[in-house]
Amino acid sequence: MTTANDQLVGRGNRDGAALFRDWFTELSQTAEAGEQSAYVFVMGSLNEILKTFDLPVVFPEINSLQTAVRRVAGDYLATAEDYGYSPDICGYVKADVAVQINGGEHPMGRIPKPSIAVLTNACNTYIKWAEIWERMHDCPVVTIDVPGTRQADTQTWPGDPDFEIDRRYVEKQIHELIKTCEKVTGKKFDIDKFREILGHANRMSVGWKKVIEANKSMPAPFNALTDGTIFLGVANGFRGTKEGGDYFDDLVEEMQYKAEHGIGGLTEEEWRLVFIGVPCYPIFRKFNELFTDWGGSFINSTYLWFASGGTNLGFEYDLKDPIKSLSEGLLISVRDAMDSMFHQDRMLLDMVDDFNVDGIVYHPIKSCRTVSTGLADSRGYFSGKKDIPSLFVESDMMDARVISEAQMKNRIDAFFEGLKSRKDQATIAGKEG
């Protein structure tokens, strides 16, 4: 007899993996048929516009990390380096270059060539990366310049005069993107279809925020590093689709059920951790096990914020004025993504207070300076504000050559031994008091 527990627990992972396979199947079919597709990035994908024009969407970052998860990234990195790319640049870029050189060959299927590339300035590498596609495929490139936060603690949001100036600037660029999409596809922009797509995106955004907040429960219903990466794949690839909206409706149901029944991502959650940075994909599962073996559970992550395309905020589009609202949402989401990388302090302080955090794991990586620069300073600042232990452990998101699993394990073991000693001392002090 099938119980509610059997139906709900693990459904998000199962359905997410299935949707992921479907997504790559569609991309393979698009490539084989020689049909049009759009290349985008996770921060500011503008999936909502592209879906209105029925363009299958390719996320090269996701393609690249999948080569690492499937332990073939070394071959792709070598191909790009033999082609002339430096070992020191972004591993995502190099893996994608190899995909392009190899005619779209990928472990998940075949990746189509771009008919258009759309990007924001959320990461400075995006711009140079898109230039590679432009040279290789002679495709149009549309860059949306999104004004970021000028400095820490000076964010401007709706209602502020400066925000409205920035929003109008973004809206004008969206209108130009629509014109380019019309030219590339030969289709007219359908405002009613666009509203429908925004409605699906709204369901996803509301759901994603609820999912993140579910991890305030003890134990946390999901692991923000492993399970969260599956959720992120759907949040990006299926943004603005009925399938994506349905998935997050179901995911909320699962996480709320698990929270209500005390079902955690770990059977015994000993330590609640926050992850800062990009995951270590070449040894993805093993990296997580180095923490879970000690009872450590990642209950939140900056990665869930800056790699979610803004769905983490719960922002809902105004369907009465959809293009204006999209410009507002894009400005907020990209700005928030950049802030979660560059101005993390306020967000971390809130996380610690809201999620009952025992420790912070900072994970700088060799081939992404955007995410890694300043993490040591951020750690120092945070340590001065909160008496929360932290770990600084370095590796890479793609390149297994720079990862020493043994050294990493020693650092992580020492971190947990420190947490345990700290807890034991607090227990003794409590008894003596």
The type of residue at 351 is: M
Structure-model confidence comparison of residues 346 and 110, the more confident one: 110
Asked whether the beta carbons of 343 and 152 are under 8 A apart, the reply is: yes
Cα(227)–Cα(109) distance, integer angstroms: 23
Cα(35)–Cα(116) distance, integer angstroms: 12
Span 407-419, average pLDDT:
97
Q: What is the residue whose two structure tokens read 């999901």?
A: 222
| Closest to 204 measured CA to CA, from 309, 334, 67, 99 | 309
| Closest to 214 measured CA to CA, from 227, 203, 202 | 227
Q: pLDDT (tens digit, 9 = 90+) per residue, 222-251?
A: 999 999 999 999 999 999 999 999 999 999
Span 194-222, average pLDDT:
96
Question: In sequence order, what are the residues at sequence separation of 6 or more whose Cβ sits closer than 8 angstroms to the Cβ of residue 58?
Answer: 27, 37, 38, 39, 40, 111, 112, 114
Cα(93)–Cα(119) distance, integer angstroms: 14
- Give yes or no for residue 280 having a pLDDT over 90: yes
Least confident of 72-86, 186-200, 262-276, 339-353: 339-353
Band of the pLDDT at 160, cuts 50, 70, 90? confident
Cα(102)–Cα(39) distance, integer angstroms: 17
Band of the pLDDT at 361, cuts 50, 70, 90? very high
Distances in whole angstroms, Cα of residue 109 to Cα of each of 51, 67, 190, 281, 287: 21, 11, 31, 19, 26
Q: Is the peptide bond before 389 cis (omega within 30 degrees of 0)?
A: no
Helix (H) or strand (E) holding 362: strand 359-363
Dihedral class, residue 391 (left if φ above 0, else alpha if ψ from -120 to 50, else beta): beta
Asked whether the beta carbons of 112 and 31 are under 8 A apart, the reply is: yes
| Closest to 404 measured CA to CA, from 289, 303, 280 | 280
Q: Which residues pair with 276 in a beta bridge?
A: 362
Least confident of 74-83, 88-97, 262-271, 348-357: 348-357
Asked whether the beta carbons of 306 and 372 are under 8 A apart, the reply is: no
Tell me what pLDDT residue 433 has.
60
Band of the pLDDT at 299, cuts 50, 70, 90? very high
Q: pLDDT (tens digit, 9 = 90+) per residue, 8-18?
A: 999 999 999 99
Asked whether the beta carbons of 221 and 258 are under 8 A apart, the reply is: yes
Helix (H, G, I), strand (E, B) or coil at 142: strand
Question: In sequence order, what are the residues at sequence separation of 6 or more whose Cβ sits closer than 8 angstroms to the Cβ of residue 368?
Answer: 90, 91, 92, 278, 397
Distances in whole angstroms, Cα of residue 296 to Cα of each of 262, 288, 362: 17, 9, 14
Q: pLDDT (tens digit, 9 = 90+) per residue, 101-124?
A: 999 999 999 999 999 999 999 888
- Give yes or no for residue 155 having a pLDDT over 80: no
Distances in whole angstroms, Cα of residue 154 to Cα of each of 118, 145, 148, 151: 28, 19, 10, 6
Cα(12)–Cα(22) distance, integer angstroms: 15
Least confident of 151-165, 200-214, 248-262: 151-165
- Give yes or no for residue 219 having a pLDDT over 90: yes
Residue 374 structure tokens: 């300043």
| Closest to 220 measured CA to CA, from 256, 265, 252, 261 | 265
Tell me what pLDDT residue 310 has.
73
Cβ-count burial of 399 within 10 angstroms (0-12 exposed, 13-18 middle, 19+ buried)? Answer: buried
Tell me what pLDDT residue 184 has.
98
Q: Is the peptide bond before 158 cis (omega within 30 degrees of 0)?
A: no
Domain ranges within the chain, ordered by starting residue: 4-432
Q: pLDDT (tens digit, 9 = 90+) per residue, 62-104?
A: 999 999 999 999 999 999 999 999 998 999 999 999 999 999 9
- According to DSSP, residue 321 is labeled S
Helix (H) or strand (E) holding 106: strand 105-106
Tell me what pLDDT residue 153 has.
61
Cα(350)–Cα(150) distance, integer angstroms: 21
Q: pLDDT (tens digit, 9 = 90+) per residue, 376-412?
A: 888 888 888 889 999 999 999 999 999 999 999 999 9
Helix (H, G, I), strand (E, B) or coil at 373: coil
Q: Taking the model in full, what pTM does it have?
A: 0.93
